[in-house]
């Protein structure tokens, strides 16, 4: 694939017109048209400006292999196409930067996933529940899955988890280059981020079932979304532990008030609505009863203070550690470091001004 076609593809991925590109890069429209039609090649300085605007590495435009754009699977995508494209471009850039840091530091993770042996047409709610039980049993620690899920995904499976302020709830993607990745909305409450993370995990676990088996689009079918919700609910609210916690608080008539149920939901890092829906399956309750309880709870919750939740960091901790390591080892320039970390050049310089080196400091530990 020639550089012109790659320039057209990158511009189209953002929905930019030649007029907009010209205004933002100070490169004439006629020159841009010549570049895209391979009449002449841009100078390196021009290509660098275009790469910056398109959120692509310069190397992307110099490659010769066909470009395969990765599917971006959205949860609650906005209706505005420009917002969708801009968010996808930023997410893709973060994933590519993370991958570059892994390569620079020799820390590329080999991903081995549990593979569900179920055909797309036959995938049932029972299969989704079994997949959740199996994942929780093998990989999550403790009785509260939400407390360890993100760490397990990042450290054991190398999933790249980012947080941005964007229109929508979450995006998941899988690339042959950088592997699995998830983007969560930093404005969402903690319980919502927990559920979205588990929801997107289902899509990653079943990527070969749904994406590679006849549905390679960024719009999952309703049934797949329902399966993902069932998986997330089962994973975050494991049957035995949740039932035991609920039944500790029932009265002599087998009843429990909504206030207590809300406290249980908080303990497990989910919403009260999610817990109530889970009780449909835990106690064979009717959907109509649950809907009534949810409606009643929404009226009551106005009198309660909102849940307190800490805002998440945009960049994963491992991403930052790799970037600092690459900078200190001279594998990443200060300008690149500032770009990767989203810092000003002046702020990035502070990472080189720290006095001393912790590698020279030792702690004596008595050994028996």
Lay out the sheet containing 179-185: strands in order across. 72-75, 170-175, 179-185, 160-164
Question: Residue 218 above 60 pLDDT?
Answer: no
Token pair listed for 294: 């949810």
* Model confidence at 231: pLDDT above 90: yes
pLDDT at position 368 is 56
Measured N-to-C along each axis, helices 18-25 and 29-36 cross at an angle, to the nearest 10 degrees, of 120
Task: Tell me the average pLDDT of the chain.
Answer: 89
Which overall architecture, per CATH, does domain 1-67 show?
Answer: Orthogonal Bundle (1.10)
What confidence score (pLDDT) does residue 217 get?
Answer: 55
- pLDDT tens, residue by residue, 157-166: 999 999 999 9
Residue with tokens 């036959």: 122
**Phi, psi of 223, deg, nearest 5:** -65, -40
Q: CA-based Rg of the chain, rounded to a whole angstrom?
A: 24
pLDDT at 352: 80
List Cα–Cα distances, 171 to 78, 161, 183, 224, 306, in angstroms: 12, 10, 5, 15, 26
How far is it, in rounded angstroms, from Cα 188 to Cα 170?
10
Residue 350: enclosing H or E segment and its boundaries?
A: none
Residues forming a β-bridge with 2:
none
143: buried, middle or exposed (CB in 10 Å: 19+, 13-18, 0-12)? middle
Q: What angle do CA 14, 164, 74 make, to 5 degrees?
A: 60
What is the predicted pLDDT for the residue at 307?
Answer: 61
- The pLDDT score that the predictor gives to residue 1 is 72
Residue 364 pLDDT: 67
Q: Which two tokens stand for residue 240?
A: 């035995």
pLDDT tens for residues 85-108? 999 999 999 999 999 999 999 988
Q: What is the pLDDT of residue 242?
A: 95
Q: For 271-327, how does the pLDDT look when each residue is reduced to its tens digit (9 = 90+)? A: 999 999 999 999 998 999 999 988 888 776 555 566 666 689 899 999 999 999 999
CATH architecture of 70-314: Orthogonal Bundle (1.10)
Closest of 367, 327, 329, 365 to residue 348, by C-alpha: 327
Q: What's the CA gap between 290 and 278, in Å, rounded?
A: 10
Q: What is the pLDDT of residues 236-272, one digit of tens each?
A: 999 999 999 999 988 888 889 888 999 999 999 999 9
Whether the pLDDT of residue 189 is over 80: the answer is yes
Residue 304 structure tokens: 């309660």
Query: In the prediction, which pLDDT does 309 show?
Result: 63
Taking 70 as the threshold, does the pLDDT of residue 358 lie above it? no
**Where are the domains positioned within the chain?**
1-67, 70-314, 317-353
């Amino acid at each position: 694939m020639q550089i012109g076609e790659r320039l057209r593809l990158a511009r189209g991925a953002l929905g930019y017109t030649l007029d907009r590109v010209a205004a933002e890069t100070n490169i004439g429209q006629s020159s841009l048209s010549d570049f895209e039609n391979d009449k002449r090649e841009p100078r390196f300085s021009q290509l660098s400006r275009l790469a910056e605007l398109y959120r692509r590495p310069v190397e992307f435009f110099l490659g010769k292999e066909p470009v395969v754009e990765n599917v971006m699977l959205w949860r609650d995508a906005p209706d505005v196409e420009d917002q969708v494209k801009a968010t996808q471009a930023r997410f893709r850039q973060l994933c590519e930067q993370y991958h570059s840091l892994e390569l620079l530091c020799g820390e590329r993770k080999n991903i081995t996933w549990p593979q569900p042996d179920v055909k797309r047409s036959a995938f049932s709610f029972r299969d989704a529940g079994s997949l959740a039980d199996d994942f929780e049993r093998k990989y999550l620690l403790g009785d509260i899955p939400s407390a360890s899920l993100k760490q397990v995904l990042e450290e054991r499976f190398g999933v790249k988890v980012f947080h941005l302020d964007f229109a929508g709830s979450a995006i998941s993607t899988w690339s042959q280059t950088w592997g699995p990745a998830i983007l969560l909305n930093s404005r969402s409450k903690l319980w919502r981020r927990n559920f979205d993370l588990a929801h997107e995990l289902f899509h990653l676990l079943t990527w070969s079932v749904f994406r590679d088996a006849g549905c390679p689009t960024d719009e999952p079918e309703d049934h797949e979304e329902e399966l993902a919700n069932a998986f997330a609910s089962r994973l975050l609210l494991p049957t035995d532990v949740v039932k035991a916690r609920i039944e500790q608080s029932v009265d002599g008539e087998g009843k429990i008030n909504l206030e207590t149920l809300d406290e249980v939901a908080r303990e497990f890092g989910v919403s009260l609505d999610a817990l109530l829906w889970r009780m449909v399956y835990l106690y064979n309750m009717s959907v109509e009863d649950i809907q009534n309880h949810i409606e009643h709870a929404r009226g009551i919750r106005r009198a309660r203070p909102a849940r307190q939740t800490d805002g998440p960091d945009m960049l994963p901790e491992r991403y930052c550690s790799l970037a600092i390591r690459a900078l200190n080892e001279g594998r990443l320039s200060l300008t690149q470091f500032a770009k990767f970390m989203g810092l000003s050049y002046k702020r990035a310089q502070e990472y080189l001004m720290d006095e001393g080196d912790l590698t020279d400091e030792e702690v004596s530990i008595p050994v028996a």
